[in-house]
Structures are given as structure tokens and as C-alpha cells.
Amino acid sequence: MSKSLKKYLLWGFAGVFLLFILVGVLSGGNESDPDPGTPVDPSINTTTVNGDVPPNDTEEPTNNGTADPDDSSPENPDNTEMALNPDEGLIFTAVTAGISHSCGVRVNDSINCWGSNAFGQASTPSGSFLIVSAGGWHTCALALDDTIECWGRNDAKQTEAPKGRFIDVSAGGKHSCGIRARHTVLCWGSNDRGQLDTHASLIAISSGGQHSCGLRVSGSITCWGDNTEGQLNAPDGDYKSVAAGDAHSCGLRADDNAIVCWGVNSSRQIDSPSGAFSAVAAGREHSCGLRMDKTVVCWGSGKYGQIDVPVGGFQEISLGDIHSCGLRIEDTVTCWGTIDESK
């Protein structure tokens, strides 16, 4: 190798070395060191999702803006206790029990009602009346001028009584029926089960949940409306009275004063006891009879005390959904069971 070539190689190596030093200095000057004064806490999640701030896991859960549930029911919006019995000291001549309210005719011919008044079924009109009948959530009464007046829930037009003169009236679940002076029957309200489809000539009538029964002049019983549970299939024979319940019916035989019932028997409500009776009444899942000695006996469902008859004598009985009422021989009214609609 000549001296001139060696000289050029040395200068070349020196230039490359200087170039490496220069590149290192420039790249080191553009790099910023991390800040040692603020250490990062590895327990904090600083990751964002879609640009949102991460949630705070210690924050109390919310109800998403919804209100706390209210345990009051539409039938009793104030969730207040409803009266099972009328005010003390009142004297009555008749009593009737509906689903969750009851009414009575007082000695001055006015009407007094108590219990649930969610649809105005206990808001009695002024006037003088002979008969009152408490239905589902409505009430009907026969005035002294033989016209019918109804009040309460009217979603099926069950309170729109026809004009004219009547001798009897009975309020059912969502329908009502009346007997005209010539013993023809006229019903109004819901007809989804044929509750209005009758052309019978009757002397007495009783409307139940979705059916009605009546006593013919001949003494036989005819029923119409819903017959899902056989509540229209009255046994042959002569009867003194008939009572339509929710899905069963009962009749008081004329020959031996025995009670016969038919229809649904889910709580043995048609298993009437033996003996002689002067009256019969039918409720939802229970029935009651008034014996000749003025005592009352009830059978069927007693879950809410509706068949636990108080001691004493009675002259009239009427049954509601899960409560019963009786007119005592002292002309006061006593009811038993419950009218709590949450049951």
C-alpha cells in the first residue's frame, strides 16, 4: 500500500467517526427525559373509552331516575284502612255486600255505604229507597217511586239503569238486572258472557260475577250468562229463593227448606250442610245460610275469616268477595272477613 493511499484511508475513518458522534449528539438533544417528580400510581386506571372519563368505582349506585315502588293499589290509592263495618249505632232494615264495599237501607229509608270507595260505589245519593244491591265496584238501589238509581264504576255502562218502574234490582260484577212491574227482566252493562240475554218472567233475581239467576212465578230457577263452571245448571224443583255468587249458585228448596248449590267447587262452596234454612247467600268461594233459629252457618273458603260467623241471631245475610255481612235481630249490621282488596 502506498503512503498516499494510507493517508486517504485515515482521513476517511476519521470522518466516519466524527459523523457518528454528531448524529448521537443531535438525537440526544431532541429526546426529553421523563419527569421524575410525579410518580404514576399503577392502581389508577387512566385509560379512556371513546373519549369518556373512566367511571369512579366508589360511586354509589343510582336507580336510573325511577321512583321507589308504591305499594298502594288503584282500588285504594291512599293505602288507607277501609271499614269492614258501618259506624256504630246505625239501625238498618236491609244489608248487601259487594266485592269490597257494603251498603244498607236505614230505618229512614236512606242508604249508608262503607268500605272501598275507589270508584264512588260507596258515595250514596240522597233520597228514599226500598232496596239496595252492592255489585262489583258499583251499587244499584230501588227508590220509593219504583225507579232504579245506580252509582260507582261505569266502564261497562253497568250504572246506566233504564227508565221505568221496577219491583227488584240486583247488581253483579259488571252488569245489573231489574224486574219490571209485570215481572219482565231487563239487564244492562257488560254482555261479554251473555249476562244481558234473558227474556224470563221472574219474581226474584240475583246477579253474580258474570251470570244471573232468577226465580220464576212457577217456583223453578232459571240462570243465564257465563256457564264455564256449570253455574247456570240449576237442579229441577221448586224454590223459595236463589243466590248467584262469583261462579256458583245456590237455591233454597220450597219443599224441605234445604239448600242446594251448583257450579264451581274449588273451595267446597257448593257442599251445603243439611238442615232447614230460611235464606241463602253466595259469595266468591263461600256460601252462607240462615237457619230457622236465626243463626248463620257458612262453608267454603275461610282463608280470610269470611265463614267465621259471629255469635248471635240474624234476620238477613249477604256475601261479598271475601267478606260476609248480616242484619242482626237488633237491626244492626255486623260483617266478618276482610275487604282488603290486596288479598
Residue 99: is its pLDDT beyond 80? yes
The angle at the Cα of 330, spanning 320 to 322, to the nearest 5 degrees, equals 15
Computed over every residue of the chain, the mean pLDDT equals 83
Q: What is the pLDDT of residue 342?
A: 78
The pLDDT value given to residue 341: 72
Does residue 253 contact residue 260 with C-beta atoms inside 8 Å? yes
CB of 304 closer than 8 Å to CB of 267:
no
CA distances (Å), origin 337, targets 115, 122, 298: 12, 19, 12
Mean pLDDT score, 245-257: 98
Alpha helices per DSSP H over the chain = 3-29
Within the chain, how many helices (H) and strands (E) appear?
Answer: 1, 21
- Total domains in the fold of the chain: 1
Q: What is the pLDDT of residues 125-134, one digit of tens each?
A: 999 999 999 9
Instruction: Report the C-alpha gap between 194 and 173 in whole angstroms.
Output: 13
User: What is the spatial distance between Cα 254 and Cα 219, in angstroms, rounded to a whole number?
Assistant: 8
Question: In the prediction, which pLDDT does 340 show?
Answer: 85
In a domain, 228, yes or no: yes
Which percentage of the chain shows pLDDT scores above 70? 76
* Cβ atoms 248, 226 nearer than 8 A: no
Q: What is the pLDDT of residues 196-229, one digit of tens each?
A: 999 999 999 999 999 999 999 999 999 999 999 9
- Which of 186 and 23 is assigned the larger pLDDT? 186
Cβ atoms 213, 223 nearer than 8 A: yes
Q: Which of 12-16, 240-244, 265-269 has the lowest mean pLDDT?
A: 12-16
Asked if residue 278 is part of any domain, the answer here is: yes
Q: What is the pLDDT of residue 30?
A: 41
Would you say residue 121 lies in a domain? yes
Q: Where is average pLDDT lowest: 37-51, 97-111, 190-204, 306-320?
A: 37-51
Residue 103: pLDDT above 70? yes
CA distance 325 to 335: 4
In the chain, the percentage of residues whose pLDDT exceeds 90 is 75
The contacts of residue 291 (CB under 8 Å, 6+ apart) are 275, 276, 277, 278, 297
Q: Does residue 259 sit within a domain?
A: yes
pTM of the prediction?
A: 0.77
The answer to whether position 14 is within a domain reads no
**Does residue 157 lie in a domain region?**
yes
* Residue 72 included in any domain: no
| pLDDT computed for residue 81 by the predictor | 67
Whether 87 is in a domain gets the answer no
CB 117 within 8 A of CB 123: yes
Domain that holds residue 119: 92-337
Q: Provide the residue type at 276 as one letter.
A: A
**pLDDT value at 78 more than 50:** no
Asked whether the CA dihedral 236, 199, 177, 208 is positive or negative, the reply is positive
- Which CATH number is 222's domain given? 2.130.10.30
pLDDT value at 310 more than 70: yes
